Amino acid sequence: MLKQQIDIHTLWANFLSVARTKVSAHVWQTWFKPIQPREIVDGTLILAVRDQFFRDWLSDHYLDFIRDHLNDIAGENLALDWSLDPTIKAAMVDSNEDMAGETEVLLENTQEVVFNPRTQALYSKQFNPRYTFDTFIAGPSNQLAFAGSKAVAENPASSYNPLFLFGGVGLGKTHLISAIGQQILQDRPGARVIYTSAEQFVNEVIAAVRFSKLEEFHAKYRRNCDVILIDDIQLIAGKVRTQHEFFHVFNTLYDSQRQIVVTSDKLPHEIPDIEERLRSRFQWGLIADIQPPELETRVAILQKKAENDKIDLPDEVLHFLASSIRSNVRELEGALVRIAAHSSLTGSAIDINYARNVLTDILSTRPAQISIESIQKTVAGYYQVKMGDLKSASRQKVIVRPRQVAMYLCRKHAGASYPELGIKFGNKDHTTILSAFKKIGSLLKEDPTLRSEVFALERKLDLTNLV
């Protein structure tokens, strides 16, 4: 017996809003958006899908995801069941007839690809209309990536080619690469833009080889493409044939002054099992990183999201969220959507206590302040030096950098004073710690390799939630 009457259409709309912040745009558009909620019978929500294959795929891959998030939003334990409605498929086709750029159909059960190389505007994925430069909040943590992306969108292949965007999950890489594509198409309606993921690119290579369609594949990516945008390029690691094909796509586009943009969660030299010739080409243009946003940027992101979604969010709740969820923009926005969904379903006003109660399960997993010793041990292991080296007076370069990074992280995250840290680092003067903290802080603004190292260490320490 449900504790309250639930409007299933509101419930499902709120689920779609939450899901959009949790999964890729491709998954959301292809698998979640077509689902239609029908009714709740004896505590079971009936969801309609177009056919048995669609139902089975969702059951195998996303059943727990759908159920768990629906239960979070509803505040009740709902069971799920499916009904089949073939008319949903026809509705989807009708609604997508204006997607003239769709050039390939990847049938996930056969991996067959149908190409149409004569089409002028080319897409492998649909752009998320919310991901534009106007909706992107720029701050110190992402300023270089934002500026580089704007320059590429305004003058493709003139400013930075290739553009390599890297950063952790949920920090805005997909937002920027989508904004680039949409801006180019807005300014140049005839531009032939391909936006795809590395996973889809791999599937296309497999299908092209399997079904003897390499000529069509080459026509699409080499001859009928002015701009290529590929998300998560690190996923081609270890895939020799895919790397071979992408290498020639890269060379063809680069040599003919056509724009290449890729995103990755790693720097080029950190991607394992990738050919050196590709690694070096990624470094030909601009490498721009996106770091977890600082407090002011997190506040601005929430304000923008609340304004766009017409959520009445008190300032105290806004600052509570920005202070509590610190490493991941997607998670930050998801928390806001979750609170708003709960509020709309229950009719409750949003205040700080309400927000804290709704997010109890998320906030309870936040790590406590970490110890100086834990940071020192992790840094020593990462750089393959001894703990004693970090506390020594050695001026060897292989020791100095790890020591300064350890001092920086301890000051930033352990809540210790400069004199206390001086003692912990071999009875050094507090000015030594201060100098190291300022030096690493300054270098982080201009050295992408160091930024990547520090961010990797913060992830190892699970400190990104405390940034």
Q: Which CATH superfamily is 372-466 part of?
A: DnaA protein, C-terminal DNA-binding domain (1.10.1750.10)
* Bridge-based pairing state of the strands 106-107 and 79-84: unpaired
Round the average pLDDT of the chain to a whole number and report it: 81
Q: Please give the average per-residue pLDDT across 1-23, as a whole number.
A: 78
Out of 160-169, 239-248, 254-263, 442-451, pick the least confident.
442-451
> Among residues 243, 199, 246, which one has the least CA distance to residue 222?
246
Gap between the Cα atoms of 386 and 287, Å rounded = 32
The confidence score (pLDDT) of residue 226 equals 92
Angle at 150 between CA 280 and CA 195, to 5 degrees: 65
The confidence score (pLDDT) of residue 401 equals 92
Q: In sequence order, which residues have a C-beta less than 8 Å from that of residue 61 and are 6 or more positions away?
A: none
The confidence score (pLDDT) of residue 405 equals 93
Gap between the Cα atoms of 134 and 151, Å rounded = 14
Proportion of the chain above pLDDT 70, given as a percent? 87
* Bridge-based pairing state of the strands 36-41 and 286-290: unpaired
The H or E element spanning position 91 is helix 87-95
* Residue with the larger pLDDT of the pair 34 and 416: 34
Give whichever of 252-266, 269-283, 300-314 has the largest mean pLDDT: 252-266
* Residue with the larger pLDDT of the pair 364 and 27: 27
Gap between the Cα atoms of 365 and 429, Å rounded = 36
The confidence score (pLDDT) of residue 84 equals 87
Out of 122-131, 151-160, 389-398, pick the least confident.
122-131
Out of 44-58, 244-258, 272-286, pick the least confident.
44-58
Residues of the chain with CATH 3.40.50.300: 106-290
Residues of the chain with CATH 1.10.8.60: 295-363
The confidence score (pLDDT) of residue 96 equals 35
The reply to whether the predicted model has a pTM over 0.75 is no
The confidence score (pLDDT) of residue 415 equals 65
Q: What residue has token string 């928390």?
A: 335
pLDDT in tens, 127-179: 888 889 998 988 887 888 999 999 999 999 888 999 999 888 888 899 999 99
* Residue with the larger pLDDT of the pair 88 and 433: 433
The confidence score (pLDDT) of residue 353 equals 84
Q: Please give the average per-residue pLDDT across 380-401, as a whole number.
A: 90
> Among residues 311, 309, 265, 331, which one has the least CA distance to residue 23?
331
pLDDT in tens, 79-107: 888 988 888 753 333 333 332 222 333 33
Q: Which amino acid is at 96?
A: N
Rounded alpha-carbon distances, angstroms, from residue 392 to 58, 173, 364, 402: 56, 40, 38, 12
Proportion of the chain above pLDDT 90, given as a percent? 27
Please, which residues bridge with residue 196 across strands? 230
pLDDT in tens, 217-226: 999 999 889 9
Cis peptide leading into residue 367 (ω within 30°): no
pLDDT in tens, 25-44: 767 887 888 899 998 888 88
Just give the CATH number of 295-363. Answer: 1.10.8.60
Q: What is the dihedral of CA 167, 173, 174, 177, to 10 degrees?
A: -140
Rounded alpha-carbon distances, angstroms, from residue 230 to 44, 124, 264, 415: 40, 10, 9, 40
Residues of the chain with CATH 3.30.300.180: 8-94
Residues of the chain with CATH 1.10.1750.10: 372-466
* Bridge-based pairing state of the strands 44-49 and 36-41: antiparallel
Q: Please give the average per-residue pLDDT across 370-388, as a whole number.
A: 89
The confidence score (pLDDT) of residue 465 equals 40
**pLDDT at position 113 over 60:** no
**pLDDT at position 55 over 70:** yes
User: DSSP letter at 127?
Assistant: P
**pLDDT at position 438 over 80:** yes
Q: Please give the average per-residue pLDDT across 296-324, as a whole number.
A: 82
- CB-based burial label for 451 (10 Å; 0-12, 13-18, 19+): buried
For 265-280, letters b (16+ CB in 10 Å) and e give: bbbbebbeebeeebee
What's the CATH architecture for 106-290? 3-Layer(aba) Sandwich (3.40)
The confidence score (pLDDT) of residue 149 equals 95
Which class is domain 8-94? alpha beta
**pLDDT at position 122 over 60:** no
**pLDDT at position 2 over 60:** no
